[in-house]
Amino acid sequence: MYESQVSNMGKFASIRVIGTLIIMVWLLPFSLLQQTYAADMGDDIKKTNHEIGRKIYNFRCYYCHGYSGDAATLATTFLDPKPMDFTKADQDELTLERIISAITDGREGTGMVSFTSVLNPEEIQILAEFVREEFVIKKAVNTLYHIEENGWGNHDRYKEAFPFAKGTIPIDTPDSELSLEQKRGKALFLSTCVSCHDRAVVRDEGVIWETQAVSYPRNQYSHRGEPLDAVSRATPFSKHDIPPKAEGLNAQERKGEGLFQKNCAFCHGADGTGKNWIGTFMEPHPRDLTNPEFMQGVDAEYLLSVIQEGLPGTSMPAWKSVLSESDIKAIIGYISKVFHPLK
């Protein structure tokens, strides 16, 4: 009986040991499985967020920075400073924090504005991570425009136009220099591709059109010194509203400086070029008092007469009832000293 109990107890002990070992063996792979599962979940979340970031970028950012982050866009040709080319950025310098800051706060003095009105902090984080991973680190080619989902199935059917779209053949190449295939490609480009690819590349830039303002100044705009209107500061016109720093003026010329900036700069610009916002609206434009081609034929007597009597057919009024002759001569002295010497 005793021996039987001892024997049974040994069996039970053996069963407990074996059972414990089984549980331990079973728990070990389960723990590893949990870790693997968590890692897989983390990868899935990361991949999902990356694609969300791609969608945000393709909707909000591509216009300036390009689908592949290289800033090779039409908008880039109009902006100064130009949008950042992420593919050329140093990944040690362009940190995730810097990208988040730019999206959140914008970048003063550039076309990059804050996106906090359209993106929440989580979306900004996801977008910044996408930009850094996709373009800064991997230099990857993002979503292509000419894909089936965009209605561009079998894009190769337009391959004859590719040299013109890519700029390998200038669009203004004479037909006499083109093969029959290239002529067909040029015609195809001009009829199908040009609306998005603009004119592509040309040999001759042609006449550069003069800068022209497209609206009158907004409320609170001032052409006299600081502060400038927040919008006009970003235009090519505001620099002409900054008076030149004139050194060595005598008393009369210093008086003329004050009179010119108070009365004449509104049309002629503070720098005398007539290329300020208001000046670009006037037809004909106010005279560029710094232009040597015009000024070399002008003397003080002629300017005195023009300022006093005005110029018929232009926006130049007669100032004889506003400024005395000595005032006008002071202005002429300032013009001769600062903008262009008179005969």
Q: What is the longest distance spanned by two Cα atoms in the chain?
A: 142
Arch. (CATH architecture) of 15-137: Orthogonal Bundle (1.10)
pLDDT tens, 53-71?
Answer: 999 998 899 889 988 999 9
Give yes or no for a contact between 271 and 242, defined as CB atoms under 8 angstroms apart: yes
Domain boundaries, the chain: 15-137, 148-197, 232-338
Of the candidates 83, 57, 80, the residue with the CA atom closest to the CA atom of residue 72? 83
Give yes or no for a contact between 306 and 261, defined as CB atoms under 8 angstroms apart: no
Kindly give the confidence (pLDDT) of every residue in the chain, 343 residues in length, as a single tens digit, with 9 standing for 90 and above. 334 443 444 444 444 444 443 334 333 444 444 455 455 556 788 899 999 999 999 889 988 998 899 998 878 888 888 999 999 999 999 999 999 999 999 998 888 999 999 999 999 999 999 999 999 999 998 877 787 777 778 888 899 999 998 889 999 999 999 999 999 999 999 988 887 777 778 888 877 666 666 655 555 444 444 444 444 444 567 788 889 998 999 999 999 999 999 999 999 999 999 988 888 888 888 999 999 999 988 999 999 999 999 999 888 999 999 999 999 999 999 999 999 998 7
Helix (H, G, I), strand (E, B) or coil at 120: coil
User: Do the domains at 15-137 and 232-338 have one common CATH topology?
Assistant: yes
What's the pLDDT at 235? 55
pLDDT tens, 272-302?
Answer: 999 888 888 888 889 999 999 999 889 999 9
In CATH, what number does 232-338 get? 1.10.760.10
Give yes or no for a contact between 334 and 253, defined as CB atoms under 8 angstroms apart: yes
**pTM given for the model:** 0.44
